[in-house]
Amino acid sequence: MSDPVIEFRQVRMTFNHIPVLTGIDLAIRPAETVTIIGGSGSGKSVMLKLIVGLFKPEAGQVLIEGEDITPLTEDQLLRVRKKIGMVFQNSALFDSLSVAENIAYPLREHTVMSEQEIRERVRETLSLVGLEGVEEKDPAELSGGMRKRVALARAIALAPRIILYDEPTTGLDPTNTEKINELIVDMDEKLGVTSVVVTHDMRSAFKISDRIALLHKGRIAAAGTPREIESSDLPLFREFIAGSTA
């Protein structure tokens, strides 16, 4: 079996003296999509921030491609972050920049690509997410689903090996939710990336995931394939599934 791309080893975090993560162990394999579910405030988004080094654990290790990133400085973390693309819950697009300029931003910041190469990469990423011809539009002109797709185009602009999704379908209607789910699956197949998704939407989790991990009381209470989760008699899973699909 391949070595994990992302690994949490006994990771602990507290905020304002309140334990949030109390000993997380989770290994995510190459090209695997793992969805983390759990109640509000359970620490799901904290795990994403640990992966990109925005938070440092108080104990334990976070490994990216076998490297413990917890002792790295901000300058050293830049090298790791170039491997990671992130799609934020609210898309986090720059309202003052066009779609093309939003996607070009990380390319200008982190590469020496020419303007022609940047334009070609912008067109390529927009084509991958099914949004040809919107380069000159402003984010305010786009629907919520389109903004999510632009955010994904920006996330893949640097050809990351890991993509993180924070509540990718929040605020979307069922049609756009389905489009985003299909896009996540499509990106995994076309790009071969390793993906970590945080969501409360179990319908999405069942559609996009290779494995689903339940975060409860600061630990991974259980993890399994969608089929294993659906057939699980673990009360925590049954309660979460019932609550999120009601």
Report pLDDT digits (tens) over 88-102.
887 788 889 999 999
> Mean pLDDT, to the nearest integer, of 77-94?
89
What is the pTM assigned to this prediction? 0.90
Tens-digit pLDDT profile for residues 25-58: 999 999 999 999 988 878 899 999 999 999 999 9
Q: What percent of the chain has pLDDT over 90?
A: 66
Indicate the pairing of strand 59-64 with strand 33-37.
unpaired
> Mean pLDDT, to the nearest integer, of 125-150?
91
Per the CB < 8 A criterion, the answer to whether 52 and 79 are in contact is no
* Coil/strand/helix, residue 65: coil
pLDDT of residue 246: 47
Per the CB < 8 A criterion, the answer to whether 87 and 163 are in contact is yes
Running DSSP on this structure, what letter comes out for residue 140?
G
